[in-house]
Amino acid sequence: MQNKIKELKSILGEVSDLNYASAVLGWDQQTYMPSGGAEGRGRQLATLARLAHIRFTSDEVGQLLEDLEPYAEQLPADSDDARLIKVTRREYDKSTKVTSEWVSDFANETTLGQSVWEKAREKSDFSMFQPNLEKIIALRRQYAEFFAPYDHVYDPLLDDFEPGLKTAEVKEIFDNLRPKQVELIQAISEKPQVDDSFIHLEFPDQKQWDFGEKVISDFGFDWNRGRQDKTAHPFTTSFGLDDVRITTRVITNLGGSALFSTMHEAGHAMYEQGFPASLGRTPLANGASMAVHESQSRMWENLVGRSYAFWTYYYPILQAFFPSQLGNVDLETFYKGINKVEPSLIRVESDEATYNLHIMLRLELEIAMMEGSLAAKDLPEAWNDRMNSYLGITPQNDRVGVLQDVHWSGGMIGYFPTYALGNLVSTQLWESIQKDLPDLEEQIAKGHFGELLGWLRDKIHRHGAKFEPQELVQQVTGSKIDAASYVRYLNKKYKAIYNL
């Protein structure tokens, strides 16, 4: 059996290499590729996606899995090989339902779609992107049909990002969470607003960049195995265990934008950098799910990066970077300002109390598009209506409205719920971390993050994709994904800031 497991890993390594090559081309497309290269890049990515799919769904892989499954039953259930066979079987069964032609078409259309989205966003004109989105929606519906019968048409898409989770489960979690967040937001709205005017001064781009790099270096981001570049919409991608790329965007008159984006993406990257070498070039060299992935990024961005303890140490350093902007702003004012709760148009710039409402809005729109009750041409109006209903504000143009996110242009329908789920998981993990590291706040206040990162390495990172998300969260925290810890966190934090 050792020869067969070795043979399986060899094939999986080839598939992994093809996917990493696609990731290089995708990264380049969003960072350095000239706009005229989109059509050719689409063909290249389509070819690589088709070849990877053909290799992975071959009869050879199917036979190896069939031969190895009795062997896996004899191994400890949580061993690397047993989990590799189980996870590969799951992905194989899904992938063999999908045609190579669809995989190629999807890669091509989403590459072109992202290029058109960038231009449409720049011109704030949804009509430019509408034809591309219509094709992408049609492809995603076609994808769902590969898995019929299903409980809900959105289930196969959600499963790509959140293995084992159903649409009905996500709706139930959100339905429980929504009224509690609305109640908190309402209570805050009745209190005097905090001052954040200092955030909207001019902060030189390079200094923003340099401060962000200092912070994530202290976090533990490994620059020997990663780098950062600029892009229109921040993202993280991996070309292997030793080459993880992050991106950020710098907005001159929004002081925290680049920093919090950099911290967020570094959280993703440190997760990827924490996978053990033994899982390399296999399906296990991945996050347990996007919710678990987002729990890492939201933890470093918010639970660490927006905490009072963090700024006890870093605020004097930030003031030294920006003396004219922040020299006369005290720590208390700064801390409250960066945690200001106010309905806003842009998801990635929104505060912790309102953020999940942005996600719930997008989930409703995605479900409606997949069910066929919402046409692409009606998306801007539906977006604006829900923004007004959920947050009491209406976008003045498509750029800050329906075109603000890159996800739909990349075909990532099913991804958005994982952001809110990641928020919930982050606080569940945080409560467990605080029990194991009772002096965590004191460590953060000294700029020490080694024990925190070590805890995450041991409890989360080293497992890669060996466990499904609910299984991993249960194993580490004692319960499946739920909203209780997040509600506790928000209430405690904002009661102090707003004197509720």
Distance CA 211, CA 361 (A): 33
Tell me the two tokens of residue 305. 């990066």
Distance CA 135, CA 171 (A): 27
Q: How far is CA 280 from CA 69, 121, 243, 258, in A?
A: 21, 37, 12, 31
Query: SS3 breakdown of the chain: % helix, strand, coil, rounded to 5?
Result: 70, 5, 30
- Of the candidates 91, 109, 162, 265, the residue annotated as catalytic is 265
3-state secondary structure of 247: strand
Asked if 66 is an active-site residue, the reply is no
Tell me the two tokens of residue 485. 């810890």
Distance CA 358, CA 156 (A): 22
Distance CA 227, CA 279 (A): 22
Measure CA 310 to chain center: 23
3-state secondary structure of 423: helix
**Residue 114 near residue 37 (C-beta atoms within 8 A):** no
**Residue 287 buriedness (CB in 10 A; 0-12 / 13-18 / 19+):** buried
Q: How many CA atoms lie within 13 A of 340 on its CB side?
A: 18
Distance CA 67, CA 53 (A): 21
Contacts within 8 Å (CB) and 24+ apart, 238-245: 238/20, 238/23, 238/272, 239/20, 239/23, 239/24, 239/27, 240/20, 240/280, 240/281, 241/272, 241/273, 241/275, 241/277, 241/280, 241/285, 244/269, 244/272, 244/273, 245/27, 245/269
For 429, phi then psi, to 5°, come to -65, -40
Tell me the two tokens of residue 197. 């005017």
Amino acid at 8: L
Distance CA 457, CA 16 (A): 23
Distance CA 34, CA 144 (A): 33
**Residue 92 near residue 52 (C-beta atoms within 8 A):** no
Catalytic sites, residue numbers? 265
